[in-house]
C-alpha cells in the first residue's frame, strides 16, 4: 500500500508543478501580446498555431495515426470546439474586450474559471462538487481580482469578457473526454492543427486578402515566443498536469496567470507590484495549495485523475511514465 501512496503523491506533485509552470508561461506572455496590436488577428493566430503544430508533430508519440482513427465523429467535433472556443475564440474575445475595457476586466472574469470548472466537471461526471476544491477556487478568484483590480469598461467589454471566461472554461472542460485516448502531446498537436485551419478560414472570410502579412522583426519575435514557449511547451505541460490531477485542480492554477503578469510587468515598465498584488498573490497561492492537493492535510479530500475518480488516479500512477 505504501509504495502506491508514494506514487500517488509523486503524481500529484508532478501534475501540480506542470500546471503551475504552464500558467506562469501564459501569464508572462502578456508582454508578447502587446507587441502584436497592429498585426492581423487571424493571421497571427494562424502563424502561431501552424508553427506549433509543425513543431509538435514529431513528438506526437507512437501509434498517433491509429489513435486518431479510433476517434468517433463526436470526439472530432469536441476537438473542433476545443480549438474554436478555448483557443481561437478565447484570444479573439480578450482582444475584443480590451478595445473598450481595461485589460484587468477580462482578467477578472477569466480568474473566475476555477469556480466554474469546479462545479461543471464533477456534475458532468455524475458527482457532487468537492467542497475543498470549490472553496479553493473561490480563494483563487478573489486573489485574481485583488491582483488585477477592476478597470474601466462598458457593456461590450463585459460581454466579451464573459466570452473569454467561456473560452477559458472550455479549454479545460472540452479536453477531459479526449485527453485519455490521445494523451497530452497528441492532443496538443491536433488542437493546434485544427486551430490553425480555423484561424485561416476566419481570416479569409473576415479580412479577405489582408488576413496575413509578413511580420516585422518585433512581431516575428513575439509570434515565435507564443508558438514555441507558450503553445508547444505550455500546452503540453498543461495537459500533462491535467492528466495527473484532473481538470478541477489544474484549473486552479490559472489564478497564477495574473500573478505572473503582475510580477513580470515591472520588468518591462508596464506596471507595478504593490501591496494589493502581494495580498492577491497570497490568496491565489493559498487556494492553489489547498485545492491542488499540494498540502498533505487536504490531499485526501480532493478528486484525483482525469475523470476525477480515485481509481483513475491509481491507473495514472502506473501508466504516467508513457508521457
pLDDT tens readout for residues 56-104: 999 988 889 999 999 999 999 999 999 999 999 988 888 788 777 776 6
Report how far residue 269's alpha carbon sits from residue 68's, in angstroms, rounded to the nearest whole number: 46
The pLDDT confidence band at residue 5, using thresholds 50, 70 and 90, is very low
Tally of helices (H runs) and strands (E runs) in the chain: 16, 0
Domain hosting 180: range is 2-322
pLDDT value at residue 307: 40
Per cent of the chain over pLDDT 90 is 30
- Whether 28 has a pLDDT exceeding 50, the answer reads yes
Report how far residue 311's alpha carbon sits from residue 304's, in angstroms, rounded to the nearest whole number: 8
- Per-residue pLDDT reduced to its tens digit, 241-268: 999 888 888 888 887 777 776 676 666 5
Residue with cell 485583488: 146
CA atoms within 13 A on the CB side of 80: 9
Q: Which residue has the higher pLDDT, 306 or 183?
A: 183
Indicate the number of domains in the chain: 1
Per cent of the chain over pLDDT 70 is 80
Report residue 234 as a C-alpha cell.
505550455
Report how far residue 313's alpha carbon sits from residue 211's, in angstroms, rounded to the nearest whole number: 45
H or E, element range at 178: helix 176-206
130: which DSSP letter?
Answer: P
The pLDDT confidence band at residue 45, using thresholds 50, 70 and 90, is very high
Least confident span in 80-84, 106-110, 185-189, 240-244: 106-110
- Residues with Cβ within 8 Å of 220's Cβ and at least 6 positions away in sequence, in order, are none
pLDDT value at residue 30: 62
Please provide residue 130's backbone torsions phi and psi, each rounded to the nearest 5 degrees. Answer: -80, 130
Amino acid at each position: 500500500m505504501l509504495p502506491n501512496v508514494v506514487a500517488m503523491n509523486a503524481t500529484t506533485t508532478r501534475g501540480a508543478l506542470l500546471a503551475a509552470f504552464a500558467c506562469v508561461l501564459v501569464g508572462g506572455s502578456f508582454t508578447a501580446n502587446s507587441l502584436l496590436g497592429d498585426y492581423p488577428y487571424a493571421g497571427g493566430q494562424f502563424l502561431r498555431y501552424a508553427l506549433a503544430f509543425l513543431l509538435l508533430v514529431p513528438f506526437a508519440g507512437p501509434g498517433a495515426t491509429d489513435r486518431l482513427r479510433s476517434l468517433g465523429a463526436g470526439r472530432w467535433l469536441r476537438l473542433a470546439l476545443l480549438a474554436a472556443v478555448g483557443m481561437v475564440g478565447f484570444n479573439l474575445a480578450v482582444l475584443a474586450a480590451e478595445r473598450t475595457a481595461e485589460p484587468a476586466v477580462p482578467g477578472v472574469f477569466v480568474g473566475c474559471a476555477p469556480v466554474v470548472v469546479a462545479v461543471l466537471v464533477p456534475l458532468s461526471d455524475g458527482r457532487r462538487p468537492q467542497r475543498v476544491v470549490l472553496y479553493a477556487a473561490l480563494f483563487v478568484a478573489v486573489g485574481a481580482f485583488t491582483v488585477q483590480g477592476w478597470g474601466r469598461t462598458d457593456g461590450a467589454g463585459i460581454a466579451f469578457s464573459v466570452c473569454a471566461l467561456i473560452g477559458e472554461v472550455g479549454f479545460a472542460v472540452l479536453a477531459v473526454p479526449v485527453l485519455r485516448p490521445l494523451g497530452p502531446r497528441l492532443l496538443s498537436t491536433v488542437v493546434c492543427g485544427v486551430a490553425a485551419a480555423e484561424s485561416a478560414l476566419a481570416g479569409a472570410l473576415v479580412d479577405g486578402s489582408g488576413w496575413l502579412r509578413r511580420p516585422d522583426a518585433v512581431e516575428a519575435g513575439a509570434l515565435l515566443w507564443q508558438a514555441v514557449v507558450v503553445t508547444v511547451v505550455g500546452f503540453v505541460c498543461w495537459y500533462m498536469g491535467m492528466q495527473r490531477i484532473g481538470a478541477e485542480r489544474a484549473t486552479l492554477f490559472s489564478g497564477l496567470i495574473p500573478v505572473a503578469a503582475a510580477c513580470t510587468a515591472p520588468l518591462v515598465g508596464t506596471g507595478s507590484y504593490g501591496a494589493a498584488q502581494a495580498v492577491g498573490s497570497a490568496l491565489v497561492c493559498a487556494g492553489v495549495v489547498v485545492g491542488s492537493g499540494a498540502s498533505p492535510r487536504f490531499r485526501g479530500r480532493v478528486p484525483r485523475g482525469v475523470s476525477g475518480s480515485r481509481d483513475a488516479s491509481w491507473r495514472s500512477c502506473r501508466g504516467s511514465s508513457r508521457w
